[in-house]
Structure 1
Amino acid sequence: MQRTLIVMGPVQMIGFCLAITAFELITYMASDMIMPAMLTVTDEFNADARHVPNAFNLYLIGGVCLQWLIGPLSDRYGRRRLLLLGCALFGLACSAAVMIQRIEAFNALRLIQGMGLGFVIAVSYPALQEVFCEADAVRLMALLGNVALLSPLLGPLLGSLLLEWLSWRQLFLGLGAASAVTWIGLWVWMPETIGVVRRDGQQQAPVPFSLRQIRRSYLALLRNRRFVGSSLALGLMSLPLIAWIGLAPVLLMQRLELSALAYGLWQIPVFSAVIVGNLLLDRLLTNHSLVRVIGLALWPFCLGLLMLIATALSSTSLILTVAGLALYALGLGMSNAALYRLTLFASDEGKGLVSAMIGMLSIAVMGAGGSLIAVIGGGRSLQSFAVWAALGGLLCLPLLYRLLRNAPAAPDAPDSHQ
């Protein structure tokens, strides 16, 4: 059974997990469900197709913009009220899409909508870590990650089908309505973890809010090589997947002239592999340490990226490219939640602030890396995409090598019954 550190009844616990999951899901759906319509959006605004990956990268960068402030504010004023504020901001930004008439306004809204992702990372993730013990928190994040992965898995397909009857503006309006329902769920079920006496008798007191102290804390984190290396590794490991999400509409629908439905179907093998990886993580946690799990995950991770490079050098087969991405995605799913947990507890600073810095560093790497891959020609052909995406992902290996080499010789395996 799971051991909670905050006193919660079963109904509240289930409701809390569902509300957190729903908010995470719709923040990703706001990106993935609209991707099949992006060429329609650029055509409507008479804009260049380069805005397709740009809008996606702006969404990621939006997730970074406020994290430096959101995390410390949640350490001071509580996770609950900050997440409610973030959900409301996200819902309003989605609903506002029905009124815009220029691509510049569309991109600005994408930036604001991406800030909702920042609230998920800087507020909801620490709240989950504070409610559950280590092994359960890692399992729960992996399982919630599976639900969030339904967005890139089903989002393009769902978006393609809905676009048969609805406009892209109506899709955004629907996301705004879903945000309103999620806000109600968070208001009813989300507990406060700051300033509350936990079941073990401990209390996480609010951290005084001081811009000077925040600056000191962030500088201390930047001097923590283990923390910085792990955060950058998180971003680099996800970079090939992020580049695929941003460039797949151009590569498949424009370059290969596939239909929106075919584009959505080609996403299934990749994101299904991430889900399978998350399920394997849950099984491995029963008798392996987090560091050991990451070491095992590197095998499919590296083999998949090397397969991408080999495929690019020999052919431009879509089947082989997607197969390499799927193998890589399996390793990513096995390692992501475990690496996040290790990174979060690599410092004793307030977990909201630490989580914000993790998000800023990792998402900045993903956003900047995805933009760079697009600029240097990753969207010109499958061959070019495969080479640059694989090389970007492999850059994480030196950072992970240092992390695994400096790990304790015999770390305690997580106990699922703590």
Structure 2
Amino acid sequence: MQRIFAFFSQRATTLFFPIALILYDFAAYLSTDLIQPGIINVVRDFNADVSLAPAAVSLYLAGGMALQWLLGPLSDRIGRRPVLIAGALIFTLACAATLFTTSMTQFLVARFVQGTSICFIATVGYVTVQEAFGQTKAIKLMAVITSIVLVAPVIGPLSGAALMHFVHWKFLFAIIAAMGLIAFVGLLLAMPETVQRGAVPFSARGVLRDFRDVFRNRVFLFGAATLSLSYIPMMSWVAVSPVILIDAGGMTTSQFAWAQAPVFGAVIVANMVVVRFVKDPTQPSFIWRAVPVQLSGLAVLIAGNLLWPHVWLWSVLGTSLYAFGIGMIFPTLFRFTLFSNNLPKGTVSASLNMVILTVMAVSVEIGRWLWFNGGRISFHLLAVVAGIAVVFTLAALLKRVRQHEATTLATES
């Protein structure tokens, strides 16, 4: 009987837990992507200024940063399971609350609370995957999770645009709330526990000490810089593209949705390439081969917009090519940053996500300002500067990772 129970317990960990996490993550993405084609409608329904449209993304990101300081150390001490399950419930309730909003302010507050899902998923959920599986399997599983979840930015705008021909935009959040509820039940039934509860007492001094140690670690600093800078071209485009393509470009919501598909489809293809064809995604030679792809995408972004400034194709094509390059190595960079040290993983993940989300939220606001005050070229230069900086931080990260691995081998021998 014990063997049967152990078999089904392991089966739940390897199959049903990732499915529940994917559904939670997928719903969190949809809360932005499904409504993206209709965000102008939201603004108009509430008689608000169109410049507030990107704030629905930046406040979502701010919500994703708000609880990082607490959830990482908390999950290190009381366990990953209760923290992630609570997060799924909070997200579900926040999506349901959107149905009752009557002003842009209330809508943005709901978006902020929905954004806390990033805290729970990235800080607790992804760490649990990394702890429950070995290095190569965890990297490839994260690539699979990312690929499936990133279907949301591809089908989300298309589905949202289609649904809004028949239903009010608030109904979209009802769909997302239902998905969140199913994910909550799935995590409740299948999520494993990967830390020993109560092994470390929860105290303000202990939490501050852990955060201090994390931000003194060179691998973490260069990893956080590489990951956060890598996100800037993608997130600035996601936040500002409705204004660029719909408000200024005159696209319909359906046209806008199709224009977004290549960007996120490129990330999905990149992750599938890693899962299917790359034997060891941690090899520096493989990582460096992805860098020219990213840089060529940024070159297309600028050159195309300089030569044909009124053709939006170059913005989409350049961003898509960049997305393919970064998609191939992102899971590996996350693994390096998280595990190339001996620090508490929940605190490391929380610190990493605070840095990433801060940079993303600031970059969205900078991108919005550049678009409204400097135009398309100024806006795209933000992506180029970030992409070039990534090359230098990546070189420093890989050097520190090699040093850590050499030290670890010397200690073990």
TM-score normalised to structure 2 length:
0.92
What letter matches 1:63 in structure 2? G
SS at match of 2:199: coil
- 1:295 and 2:296 aligned: no
Which residue in the other structure is 2:343 paired with?
349
What letter matches 1:214 in structure 2? V
Which residue in the other structure is 1:371 paired with?
365
Contact 1:305 1:328 in 2 (8 A): yes
Structure 2 Cα separation of the partners of residues 7 and 66 of structure 1: 34
Q: How does 1:183-202 map to 2 (within 5 A)?
A: 183-195=184-196
Which residue in the other structure is 1:416 paired with?
none
Q: How does 1:278-357 map to 2 (within 5 A)?
A: 278-283=271-276, 285-287=278-280, 289-316=282-309, 317-357=311-351
Which residue in the other structure is 1:167 paired with?
168
Answer with 327-336 or 216-225: which moved more: 216-225
Contact 1:255 1:381 in 2 (8 A): no
What letter matches 2:106 in structure 1? A
Residues 87 and 351 (structure 1 numbering): CA distance in 2 closer, same or farther, change over 3 Å? same
What letter matches 2:260 in structure 1? Q
- What do the CA deviations read for 1:364-410 (whole angstroms, capped 9, x no partner)? 11111111111122687443432222223322222112123444289
Match of 2:257 among 237, 261, 264: 264
SS at match of 1:50: helix
Structure 2 Cα separation of the partners of residues 6 and 349 of structure 1: 32
Match of 2:394 among 385, 389, 400: 400
Residues 12 and 219 (structure 1 numbering): CA distance in 2 closer, same or farther, change over 3 Å? closer
SS at match of 2:176: helix
Contact 1:315 1:383 in 2 (8 A): no
Structure 2 Cα separation of the partners of residues 98 and 353 of structure 1: 34
1:411: Cα distance to partner? 7.1
1:288: Cα distance to partner? 5.2
1:287: Cα distance to partner? 4.2
Contact 2:270 2:325 in 1 (8 A): yes
Which residue in the other structure is 2:58 paired with?
57
Structure 2 Cα separation of the partners of residues 315 and 111 of structure 1: 38
What letter matches 1:228 in structure 2? L
- 1:121 and 2:122 aligned: yes
SS at match of 1:289: coil
1:9: Cα distance to partner? 2.9
1:118: Cα distance to partner? 0.9
Answer with 161-170 or 112-121: which moved more: 161-170
| Structure 1: gaps (5+ residues) | 197-204, 413-418
1:292: Cα distance to partner? 3.2
- 1:249 and 2:242 aligned: yes
Contact 1:291 1:407 in 2 (8 A): no
Residues 59 and 70 (structure 1 numbering): CA distance in 2 closer, same or farther, change over 3 Å? same
Structure 1 Cα separation of the partners of residues 263 and 7 of structure 2: 37
Structure 1 Cα separation of the partners of residues 53 and 350 of structure 2: 27
1:181: Cα distance to partner? 1.1
Contact 2:219 2:341 in 1 (8 A): no
Q: How does 1:17-36 map to 2 (within 5 A)?
A: 17-36=18-37
- What do the CA deviations read for 1:153-207 (whole angstroms, capped 9, x no partner)? 11111111111122111111221121111111111111111228xxxxxxxx733
1:234: Cα distance to partner? 0.5
Structure 1 Cα separation of the partners of residues 32 and 60 of structure 2: 7
Number of residues paired by the alignment?
400
Residues 6 and 325 (structure 1 numbering): CA distance in 2 closer, same or farther, change over 3 Å? farther
- What do the CA deviations read for 1:4-56 (whole angstroms, capped 9, x no partner)? x9994324521111001001110111011111111011111111111111110
Structure 2 Cα separation of the partners of residues 348 and 390 of structure 1: 34
Structure 2 Cα separation of the partners of residues 154 and 186 of structure 1: 25
Contact 1:247 1:379 in 2 (8 A): no
What letter matches 2:263 in structure 1? V
Q: How does 1:227-242 map to 2 (within 5 A)?
A: 227-242=220-235
Structure 2 Cα separation of the partners of residues 72 and 6 of structure 1: 31
Answer with 52-61 or 280-289: which moved more: 280-289
Structure 2 Cα separation of the partners of residues 6 and 297 of structure 1: 39
Aligned CA-pair RMSD: 2.1
Residues 87 and 409 (structure 1 numbering): CA distance in 2 closer, same or farther, change over 3 Å? closer
Structure 1 Cα separation of the partners of residues 280 and 116 of structure 2: 37
In terms of fraction of residues, the more helix-rich structure is: 2
Residues 406 and 212 (structure 1 numbering): CA distance in 2 closer, same or farther, change over 3 Å? closer
Residues 230 and 258 (structure 1 numbering): CA distance in 2 closer, same or farther, change over 3 Å? same
- What do the CA deviations read for 1:66-102 (whole angstroms, capped 9, x no partner)? 0110011111111111111001111111100111111
TM-score normalised to structure 1 length:
0.91
Q: Percent identity?
A: 33
Which residue in the other structure is 2:145 paired with?
144
Answer with 399-408 or 56-65: which moved more: 399-408
Answer with 275-284 or 25-34: which moved more: 275-284
1:315: Cα distance to partner? 2.1
